[in-house]
């Protein structure tokens, strides 16, 4: 009789300079279960998994497989023990084909020659059996993120792994892909594979996991069965204080139109059709207008068109009474804050310090420069003020290099900078992506507070919960066009989903719809 627990991590302690990332953590994974690992950013989830996967050596504690103590010194050891991992950032060779990636490191060779035929047959079989659709001959750089993830999963299956680790697998997926992934995970569990699922999304954990182990600040808070708990108590365990999951807000009192968009078209960089086609809407002071839609339906390009990162091909954009259709990014910035979609590409200069990032747009203002010389003290004081006010945590305060900060705090820094610029319009693109409950709560509060101060907020979000709870009006984008305008109070997620999938469409109401 095999023991109940296939993997036991007992009293694991892993220290890094200055912090204890894992402090005496015990995790027991039962055969055939989906076990979620829940915790905020920096709670030590990924560290613990890296220990299991052989990337780090713990200072104390032991790992047992089927009751036997094992030593995992490298990912190769882990693979030999049947442990496979899908990393948060996929470890694929972009210029290799899907098949090459799957067999990489586990190639069948004969006299030094690759035996791809056999490999192809096995991969095809696996892909069919689990419904993991991939194009074996496509290059990884050409396929979608969802398919890349399926490639990672096939990699694990190809190596006959029986313990599968998923590190925040849903962060990059669309709602449909998330559902598919959940089904696949359940299928694996049914077959007796054991799954460790790292996440900070409570919905998903409640939906798919059998048990949850909660980590906070490197410590194990407890392990609970999902059927004996609920979202609220899980989030309390995770954050360490009661968290408001619902957004509390008054009814909007919209004022004058701040942003008026008429017939906007933006060319696509990748294909011939317009990424944004004939889009018209307005955002008024004191309301949050949310653009919902499945990723890749032109939301990003819409924002590029509004903010000037991409040229407007046709139509007009009016901001605070000025036509800005052809204005420079800097001119547009006079009346617009922009929380960008990609905080590493656009939001921050990662090699700059926090204080340098805080004045990225404002360094030309007289308070920060004199005759072209930067007023260092003024910048320092301003950064310190923002850090205090918005509770941005970092190792060395204003002189911390942005790259060394956690994702959540990087995002907080951007929000602090953009909100404090105090412009009539805030364009926020997926402001809570990849953040944990505590940070999301905070950012939502900020956006509502700005709305109540009379700002116009244009929110672009892929999270339906966020769309429903935060917005005063919802615009649904599908294939570059706005197909519906909805009142969140009078609609539900199902209806929204139909519009997002393009199954339903509202008749155009003429101008300003």
Give the helix ranges, DSSP H, for 6-110.
45-52, 75-80, 98-103
Give the helix ranges, DSSP H, for 74-144.
75-80, 98-103, 116-129
- At 4 the three-state DSSP class reads coil
User: Residue 406 Cβ, how far from other proteins at the closest point, in Å?
Assistant: 4
Closer of 148 and 471 to other proteins (Cβ): 148
Closer of 242 and 321 to other proteins (Cβ): 242
With CA atoms as reference, report the closest residue to 379 among 360, 395, 393, 396: 360
User: Residue 4 Cβ, how far from other proteins at the closest point, in Å?
Assistant: 14
User: Residue 503 Cβ, how far from other proteins at the closest point, in Å?
Assistant: 33
Residue keyed to tokens 């004996």? 228
How many Å apart are CA 443 and CA 171, to the nearest integer?
Answer: 18
Closer of 369 and 469 to other proteins (Cβ): 369
Stated as kind and residue range, the H or E segment containing 440 is: helix 437-452
Question: 510: which 2 tokens?
Answer: 């003429």
Q: Which distant-in-sequence residues (6+ apart) come within 8 Å of 381 by Cβ?
A: none
How many Å apart are CA 313 and CA 274, to the nearest integer?
Answer: 9
User: Residue 223 Cβ, how far from other proteins at the closest point, in Å?
Assistant: 5
Phi, psi of 492 (to 5 degrees): -135, 175
User: Residue 148 Cβ, how far from other proteins at the closest point, in Å?
Assistant: 12
Closer of 112 and 372 to other proteins (Cβ): 372
Q: What is the DSSP letter of 347?
A: I
Closer of 245 and 257 to other proteins (Cβ): 245
Closer of 34 and 99 to other proteins (Cβ): 34
Residue keyed to tokens 């926020």? 428
User: Residue 115 Cβ, how far from other proteins at the closest point, in Å?
Assistant: 33
Closer of 130 and 363 to other proteins (Cβ): 363
Closer of 124 and 391 to other proteins (Cβ): 391
User: Residue 273 Cβ, how far from other proteins at the closest point, in Å?
Assistant: 24
How many Å apart are CA 290 and CA 243, to the nearest integer?
Answer: 24
User: Residue 276 Cβ, how far from other proteins at the closest point, in Å?
Assistant: 19
With CA atoms as reference, report the closest residue to 225 among 251, 201, 205: 205
């Amino acid at each position: 009789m095999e023991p109940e627990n296939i993997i036991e991590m007992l009293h694991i302690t892993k220290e890094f300079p200055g912090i204890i990332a894992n402090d005496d953590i015990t995790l027991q994974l039962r055969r055939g279960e989906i076990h979620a690992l829940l915790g905020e950013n920096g709670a030590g989830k990924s560290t613990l998994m890296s220990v299991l996967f052989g990337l780090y050596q713990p200072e104390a504690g032991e790992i047992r497989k089927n009751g036997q103590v094992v030593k995992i010194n490298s990912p190769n050891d882990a693979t030999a023990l049947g442990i496979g991992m899908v990393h948060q950032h996929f470890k694929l060779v972009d210029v290799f084909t899907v098949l090459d990636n799957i067999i990489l490191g586990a190639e069948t060779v004969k006299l030094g020659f690759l035996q791809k035929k056999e490999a192809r047959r096995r991969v095809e079989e696996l892909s069919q059996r689990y419904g993991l659709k991939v194009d074996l001959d496509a290059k990884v750089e050409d396929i979608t993120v969802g398919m890349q993830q399926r490639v990672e999963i096939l990699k694990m299956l190809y190596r006959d792994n029986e313990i599968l680790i998923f590190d925040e697998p849903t962060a990059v997926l669309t709602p449909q892909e998330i559902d598919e992934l959940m089904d696949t995970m359940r299928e694996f569990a049914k077959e007796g594979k054991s799954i460790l699922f790292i996440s900070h999304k409570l919905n998903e954990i409640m939906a798919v996991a059998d048990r949850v182990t909660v980590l906070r600040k490197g410590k194990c808070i407890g392990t609970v069965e999902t059927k004996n708990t609920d979202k609220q108590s899980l989030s309390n365990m995770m954050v360490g204080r009661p968290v408001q999951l619902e957004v509390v807000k008054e009814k909007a009192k919209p004022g004058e139109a701040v942003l008026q968009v008429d017939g906007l078209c933006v060319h696509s960089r990748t294909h011939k059709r317009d990424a944004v086609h004939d889009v018209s809407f307005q955002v008024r002071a004191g309301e949050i207008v949310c653009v919902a839609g499945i990723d890749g339906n032109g939301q990003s390009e819409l924002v590029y068109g509004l903010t000037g990162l991409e040229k407007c091909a046709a139509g007009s954009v009016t901001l605070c009474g000025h036509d800005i259709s052809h204005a420079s990014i800097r001119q547009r910035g006079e009346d617009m804050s922009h929380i960008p979609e990609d905080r590493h590409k656009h939001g921050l200069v990662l090699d700059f310090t926090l204080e340098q990032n805080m004045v990225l747009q404002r360094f030309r203002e007289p308070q920060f420069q004199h005759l072209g010389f930067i007023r260092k003290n003024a910048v320092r004081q301003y950064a310190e003020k923002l850090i205090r006010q918005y509770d941005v945590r970092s190792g060395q305060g204003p002189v911390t290099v942005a790259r060394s900060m956690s994702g959540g705090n990087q995002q907080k820094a951007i929000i602090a900078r953009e909100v404090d610029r105090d412009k009539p319009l805030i364009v926020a693109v997926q402001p809570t992506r990849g953040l944990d409950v505590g940070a999301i709560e905070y950012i939502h509060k900020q956006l509502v507070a700005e709305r109540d101060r009379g700002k116009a907020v244009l929110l672009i979000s892929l999270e339906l919960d966020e769309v429903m709870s935060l917005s005063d009006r919802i615009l649904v984008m599908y294939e570059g066009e706005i197909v519906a305008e909805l009142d969140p109070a009078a609609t539900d997620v199902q209806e929204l989903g139909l519009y997002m999938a393009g199954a339903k469409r509202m008749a155009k109401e003429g101008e300003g719809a």
